[in-house]
């Protein structure tokens, strides 16, 4: 159903169309009751044709409305009026990442800063049992103050556990099993129509990161059959082979997200966020690990080595001072001999203990390195 500018949809006045997709059309609207601008997605007719699909979508909207994270678009309402289903959400201004990537690759610091927010937002959604299933640059918007917002959970699907919690009458078998999403950003398991989990979203994040880092998709075949085969079987070109300024640490993170086997990817968005945060801290500190990231044992070892070196230098200085005094005293008078043993007769086979021998050898080595005093 197409709405006209100025038309009322309940208490919402339609201002302008701001986007469209497979799920429906998005409008900027004004809430007459609360005096605020919002985004309204009018769902495509027939999308919720069955009572099961309508229940499922309502439950997802309910679950999403409870998510409270700065990186996730807020869902305010889900309703139906005169046969029109619509979803009311927060209106996000700013630039979408697909607009940003059109100008080429992004700097490492910007990718990691945005990536941390994206991973943290996904971690919050995944912990509530919500999967996005359609992550792509056009569904990611950066506000004027640099904050990332994840938009359009329209293809989100609840995990089995969450699905069983939100409705007693809606069984797991009612969840859709068909292929849905945007092909270049779909994980291999999603493309095959298999059951997906949080790791499928992580693969899509990897595609987004790859595109931001290189200015191109990891697989850009024009034919659907070739693109499908590449996603399922081929390894993407190394990001650093396209963007030689890209740090290898960021490349490693991107390629780990893009592993074909879900078991080899990051197992959670939380782990991905931790690695990105660590990389962000390294970048802001000029490549030097911040103090809070250094292991305590390593700090103790450094302190111990420093103290040991200082003591050794003090001992060496004291030894040299004593040697200088000894040399001065020797020059002032004749040589004197001191008895080393208490035997009554002469010692024909004198010997030294192992400790004494080592001490004498160490002292001799030091003496040999000190220049002799000129006579």
Please indicate whether residue 134 is annotated as part of the active site: yes
Compute how many other C-beta atoms are within 10 angstroms of the C-beta atom of residue 368: 8
Q: How many helices (H) and strands (E) does the chain have?
A: 12, 11
- In Å, how far are 75, 125, 361 from 65, measured between CA atoms? 5, 11, 79
Which of 31, 85, 134, 152 is catalytic? The answer is 134
Neighbour-count burial of 54, counting CB atoms closer than 10 A to its CB (0-12 exposed, 13-18 middle, 19+ buried): middle
Instruction: Phi first, then psi: give them for residue 211, nearest 5 degrees.
Output: -65, -40
- In this structure, the chain runs to a length of 375
- Taking the mean position of all CA atoms in its chain, how far away is CA 292? 18
Kindly tell me the sign of the dihedral angle through the C-alpha atoms of 114, 116, 120, 122.
positive
**Cα(282)–Cα(277) distance, rounded to whole angstroms?**
9
Which helix (H) or strand (E) element contains residue 30? strand 24-31
Active-site positions read: 134
């Amino acid at each position: 159903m197409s709405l006209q500018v100025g038309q009322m949809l309940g208490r919402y006045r339609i201002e302008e169309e701001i986007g469209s997709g497979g799920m429906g059309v998005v409008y900027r609207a004004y809430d007459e009751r609360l005096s605020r601008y919002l985004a309204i997605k009018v769902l495509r007719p027939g999308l919720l044709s069955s009572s099961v699909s309508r229940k499922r979508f309502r439950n997802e909207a309910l679950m999403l409305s409870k998510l409270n994270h700065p990186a996730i678009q807020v869902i305010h309402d889900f309703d139906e009026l005169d046969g029109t289903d619509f979803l009311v959400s927060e209106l996000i201004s700013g630039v979408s990442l697909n607009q940003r990537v059109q100008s080429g690759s992004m700097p490492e610091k910007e990718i990691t800063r945005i990536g941390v927010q994206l991973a943290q937002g996904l971690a919050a959604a995944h912990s509530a049992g919500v999967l996005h299933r359609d992550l792509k640059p056009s569904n990611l918007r950066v506000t004027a103050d640099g904050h990332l917002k994840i938009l359009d959970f329209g293809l989100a699907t609840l995990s089995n556990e969450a699905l069983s919690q939100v409705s007693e009458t809606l069984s797991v078998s009612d969840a859709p099993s068909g292929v849905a999403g945007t092909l270049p950003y779909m994980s291999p398991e999603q493309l095959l129509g298999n059951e997906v989990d949080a790791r499928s979203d992580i693969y899509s994040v990897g595609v987004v990161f790859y595109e931001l880092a290189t200015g191109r998709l990891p697989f850009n075949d024009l034919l659907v059959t070739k693109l499908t085969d590449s996603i399922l079987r081929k390894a993407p070109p190394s990001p650093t082979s396209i963007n030689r300024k890209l740090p290898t640490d960021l490349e490693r993170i991107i390629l780990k997200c893009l592993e074909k086997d879900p078991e080899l990817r990051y197992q959670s968005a939380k782990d991905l966020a931790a690695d990105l945060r660590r990389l962000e801290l390294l970048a802001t500190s000029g490549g030097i690990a911040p103090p809070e990231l250094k292991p305590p044992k390593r700090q103790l070892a450094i302190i111990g080595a420093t103290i040991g070196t200082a003591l050794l230098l003090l001992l060496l200085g004291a030894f040299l001072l004593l040697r200088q005094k000894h040399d001065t005293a020797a020059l002032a008078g004749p040589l004197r001999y001191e008895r080393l043993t208490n035997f009554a007769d002469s010692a024909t086979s004198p010997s030294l203990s192992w400790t004494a021998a080592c001490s004498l050898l160490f002292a001799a080595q030091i003496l040999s390195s000190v220049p002799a005093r000129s006579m």
